[in-house]
Chain A
C-alpha cells in the first residue's frame, strides 16, 4: 500500500547519543518534510527537500541534519540528543505544488 512510514515509533535514549529517525515513502513524491510537534500542539518545520540531493532548513532546524540520497528516503539525524529534543517528529511528503501533505505516524522521542 502506498504510504509514508516512520521508524521507530517510540524511542527512549540518553543525553548525548546520536540518533537517526527513518522515513520512507512509496508514493514517488519529490517533496518531503520533517516537522516537530508536541502532542496536540503546533507543527514546526525542521527540514524539507524538493528532491534528490536537495535539502533546506526550516525554522527549527538547529542541531539536526537530513539527507536525500534516494527519492523515497529522508532520514533525520540528531548528532547529540538533549532533553529539549523530547517531542514527536512527523515526516511528510507531497506530490507537487498545491498538493496536500501526507504524514507518517510519527516517532515519539524521549531523551533522558
Chain B
C-alpha cells in the first residue's frame, strides 16, 4: 500500500517568515494530494490540494508544489501569522481509489 513520509515533525518560525513542509509518497499510481490543517481539539480541515497533472497551485499565502517523478510534494506558507500555528498533515490517495494515507504530521508554531 501507499506510504507517506512527512518532515519535519515540528517547525518553529518567526511571524512573517516562511514555512515549508515536505512529504514523499511511494505509490506511483497516486494522483491526488490534499493538505489538512488541524487546530488543537478540532477536526482536520482541507487547506489546499493538488492533482498529479499540475506542478504547482497557490491560494493567497499558501502554495503546494508537486514533483511526480521524484514522488514528493511540499506545502509553502508565506508571511506566517500566529493563527497558522497548528498541526499540518499531507495525504495521498491510493489505488483502488480514494483511500487516503496520511503523513505523520508537522506541528507548526509561529512565534509572534
Contacts and interface: CB of A to CB of B under 8 A. Distances in A.
Interface of A: 31, 33, 35, 40-43, 45, 48, 50, 58-59, 90, 94, 96-106
Most B CB contacts (10 A, CB to CB) among A35, A40, A96 go to A40
A102 B43 CA distance: 9
A48 B99 contact: yes
B34 A101 contact: yes
Contacts of A104: 43
A97 B32 contact: yes
Contact of B46 (A96, A97, A101): A101
B44 A103 contact: yes
Interface string B44-65: 1110010100000000000000
B105 A40 contact: yes
**A-B pairs, 8 with minimum CB distance:** A103-B43, A100-B46, A43-B102, A42-B104, A98-B32, A100-B34, A40-B87, A103-B44
Contact of B101 (A41, A45, A103): A45
Interface residues of B, number: 28
A59 B1 contact: yes
A38 B107 CA distance: 14
A105 B44 contact: no
Interface of B: 1, 31-32, 34, 36, 38, 40, 42-46, 49, 51, 87, 89, 91, 93, 97-105, 107
A86 B45 CA distance: 23
A99 B40 CA distance: 24
Given A98-B32, A100-B34, A41 B99 contact: no
A97 B99 contact: no
A71 B102 CA distance: 25
B43 A105 contact: yes
A17 B87 CA distance: 33
17 contacts: A33-B100, A35-B102, A41-B104, A41-B105, A43-B44, A43-B102, A45-B99, A59-B1, A90-B44, A94-B98, A97-B98, A99-B98, A100-B46, A101-B36, A103-B44, A105-B42, A106-B43
